[in-house]
Amino acid sequence: MDFFHHQDLARRNTRVLVGLFVLAVFALILITNALVAAFLFFGSETDLYGAAVYGWRGFLTYFSWQRFGMIGLGISATVALVVLFRWIQLSTGGRVVAESMGGQRLLPQTTDPAERRCLNVVDEMALAANMPVPAVYVLPDERGINAFAAGILPADAVVAVTRGAIDHLKRNELQGVIGHEFSHILNGDMRLNIRLAALLKGITFIGDVGYLMLRSRGHPSANDNRRGGVPALPVLGLGLCAVGWLGGLVADYIRAAISRQREFLADASAVQFSRDPDGIGDALKVIGGYVPGTLVHSARAAEMAHIFFGEVLHSLWLPFATHPPLDQRIRRLDPDWDGQFIKRTPRHYPNPASRNSAAAAGLDRAAVVAAAMAAAAEADEESEQEDAAADADFSANATDYEADTAQRESIPVALVRHSHEPLGAHAIVSALLVQPDTEIYQRQMQVLQDSGIRGLTELTHTLYPAVAELGAPRRLPLIELCLPALKAISEPQYRKFKRTLLQLIQADARTELHEWCLYQLVRHYLDPEFIQVQHSKPRYRRLTQVRESLQVVLSVLAEAGSADTAAAFAAGARELEIPDLSPLPAAQGSVAAFSKAVLQLADLYPLLKPRLLKAMALAAGEDGQLTPEEREIIAAMAAVMDCPAPELL
């Protein structure tokens, strides 16, 4: 799956969306002018010059270019302000969207088995997609099976699931749904969805104004201007309601047209991430056989319907449906599907041990019944064992999930458990920066002691040997596992956390490249959770404009991971197609120069960033392998450049 290509398609869809939006606003201006003319016509018995006129001739006298311009300017300004306000409101991060839907943050410390299983699945899909673990929210009052991803960039992304999804989907089915949402993050759909919501709110706002005018008619008086006894203000309000209704239809059509094809792509990506074609397919089959379906009852659900995994409202007409029909999605994943949905009724899943005890008791009773009933007893036993196996998927305990993650990522279970606690995550990240040199080690321990965080020094000292033994190959996944717990701390705690990290790095009076990578990854994915950040802006249209910076980053990467520095540099330079690009001496490839170069490259135009990252991957892999150090460098660069690179890593 070429995610960079689909990110470009998302940007093209944004341009199409803006074009349709402009046409829709122009149509609103025309209709509103006609309504104002009708309002004036019915509100007065004379024309603009005092003459009594009727019919179309009289109606047309109330049109004027001056009024058309004023109304057009007023509507455009109003819509622009509404869009701007809504964009600012939604662009603060996925957390705002999730909380506006009634979502509650799932903390790593939760003891609910279904919630722990969901967190574990999100961990799995994040690592499979080569991106940090996002925050997870649950919509506790929603019994429908649904989910969504929200945010502007992967750094501020969140994944939200309904309670119905985590209660009624098996592990592989939940993996498919979560993998689907990760596709929206990597394909650039989240930014498109937020823009879509902001623009469409601007279109429908006219109807909201009309509704208020319609409700404010009050009691008629003798001085009301009217023609034939028709109150003028409610007529205008009713007309604006009609405009808002038409705008809503246009908005729904635009939203549906852009959204449907992205859903097919996300379904295919879910198979790639989960490596299980039956997971997402079975989840869709369960939805088809589940009475609540994918319905969501939140007040904001209709407005944000296009960001969900499935339809949140029943659509009577396909052109206005935000998602493709369920059977079409299933058949694209399973061409041999027999058309039968999976029936799964709402229920509480019992502990497997109790089910096994019941089966054992059934065996004891079967031993004393007549021989004619033996076959039936055996069949009942097999059925109960199958049910117990199915229930085990829903009732495994937290320890099992942590053990699964530990085995999959080759990380000790103790570290996985500590990564789910804020203090443990802080200690693990600190241990990644601790150095074995005795003198430096003592200074770093003193930094932790001076931080004033109770227990941090002792826990870091305890975890350091296990973290050091893992070495470079597991640093990146270990950092990613720690991010959700660190997002749960307060803003003052986060500022202290960042200050401590910088002091640990500066304890030896120099900054190593892996320390820079770790700090950038942590800062980039945690800053949006606590402070307002300024994202990079496109400034450079051509790679030749940042030639010196390209020279620095390629030289540093070639020097860091390849025995043949010249060959590695040449492999990356060929992809960039910049003539006479040569490697710099090692002395000029300092961490400070590398950091400055990456910050400049973050301002490249979007389509140039994946090309640069591909060149970096080619340089790193010139010797036939991508080392952990090289992976860290590319991952840190991708983070700073706001450009996810799942395919490259």
Per-residue pLDDT at 3: 44
Mean pLDDT calculated for residue range 405-415 = 82
Distance, CA of 23 to CA of 236 (rounded, Å): 23
Contacts of 121 (CB under 8 A, 6+ apart): 171, 174, 175, 178
The pLDDT of residue 647 is 58
Highest mean pLDDT among 63-72, 107-116, 543-552: 543-552
DSSP 8-state symbol, 147:
E
Query: Which pLDDT score, from 0 to 100, does residue 525 have?
Result: 85
Confidence band of 532 (pLDDT split at 50, 70, 90): confident
Residue 620: per-residue pLDDT: 84
pLDDT, residue 190, reads: 74
pLDDT at residue 607 in the model:
76
Q: Give me the pLDDT at residue 590, please.
A: 82
Mean pLDDT for the stretch of residues 291-296? 88
Average pLDDT over residues 636-645: 80
Distances (CA, A) of 486 to 196, 222, 318, 572: 31, 67, 43, 35
The string of pLDDT tens digits covering residues 166-182 is 999 998 899 999 988 88
Q: Which of 115, 202, 210, 204 is nearest to 165 (CA)?
A: 115
Helix (H, G, I), strand (E, B) or coil at 335: coil
Give the helix ranges, DSSP H, for 275-351. Answer: 277-289, 326-333
Which own/partner contact pairs does 258-261 have at CB distance under 8 Å and 24+ positions apart? 258/13, 258/16, 258/17, 258/192, 258/196, 258/306, 259/306, 259/322, 259/323, 260/321, 260/322, 260/323, 260/324
3-state DSSP assignment of residue 150? strand
pLDDT at position 8, please?
Answer: 53
pLDDT at 13: 57
Q: What is the DSSP letter of 319?
A: G
Give pTM, 2 decimals.
0.68
Rounded-to-integer distance, Cα 282 and Cα 170, Å: 9
Selected catalytic residue, list 124, 181, 480, 630: 181
Compare 242 and 493 and report the one with higher pLDDT: 493
Report the distance separating Cα 286 and Cα 279, nearest Å: 11
Helix (H) or strand (E) holding 137: strand 135-139
Q: What is the pLDDT of residue 230?
A: 47
Catalytic site residue 548? no
**Model confidence band, residue 104 (pLDDT cutoffs 50, 70, 90):** very high
Could you give the CA distance from residue 382 to residue 504 in angstroms, rounded to a whole number? 59
Chain centroid to CA 291: 27
* Pairing relationship of beta strands 135-139 and 104-105 according to DSSP bridges: antiparallel
Which DSSP letter does residue 308 get? B
Burial status of residue 416 (CB atoms within 10 A of its CB: 0-12, 13-18, 19 or more): buried
CA-based nearest residue to 94, from 392, 397, 487, 485: 487
Q: Residue 465's pLDDT is what? A: 93
Share of the chain above pLDDT 70, in %: 73
Q: Which of 339-343, 362-366, 385-389, 573-577 is the least confident region? A: 362-366
What pLDDT was estimated at residue 231? 55
Here the tokens at position 242 are: 């009609």
β-bridge pairing 135-139 and 147-150: unpaired
Residue 47 near residue 58, CB atoms below 8 Å: yes
- Is 432 a residue whose pLDDT tops 60? yes
The pLDDT of residue 563 is: 67
Mean pLDDT, to the nearest integer, of 415-420?
A: 89
Task: Pick 601 or 621 by higher pLDDT.
Answer: 601
Q: How confident is the model at residue 617 (pLDDT cuts 50, 70, 90)?
A: confident
The pLDDT of residue 386 is above 50: no
pLDDT of residue 302: 74
Whether residue 356 is predicted with pLDDT greater than 60 in this model: the reply is no
Higher-pLDDT residue of 138 and 239 is: 138
Contact 283, 161 (CB under 8 A): no
* Token pair of 345 as six digits: 């009724």
pLDDT tens digits, 38-90: 666 665 555 445 554 554 555 566 667 777 778 778 777 877 888 788 777 77
pLDDT for position 561? 67
Q: 342: which residues sit within 8 A by CB, 6+ positions away?
A: 282, 285, 286, 288, 289
| C-alpha span between 258 and 14 (Å, rounded) | 9
Q: Which two tokens stand for residue 321?
A: 């449906």
pLDDT over 70 (residue 216):
no
Measure the CA–CA gap between 393 and 408, rounded to whole angstroms. 18
What is the domain partition of the chain in residue ranges? Answer: 3-93+191-254, 352-398, 410-530, 543-640
Model confidence band, residue 278 (pLDDT cutoffs 50, 70, 90): confident
Find, among 630, 616, 637, 631, the residue nearest to 561 by Cα.
Answer: 630
**Can you give the pLDDT at residue 57?**
56
Mean pLDDT of the chain: 77
Most confident of 68-77, 425-434, 631-640: 425-434
In single-letter form, the type of residue at position 513 comes to L
Is 50 exceeded by the pLDDT of residue 313? yes
More confident residue, 415 or 195: 415
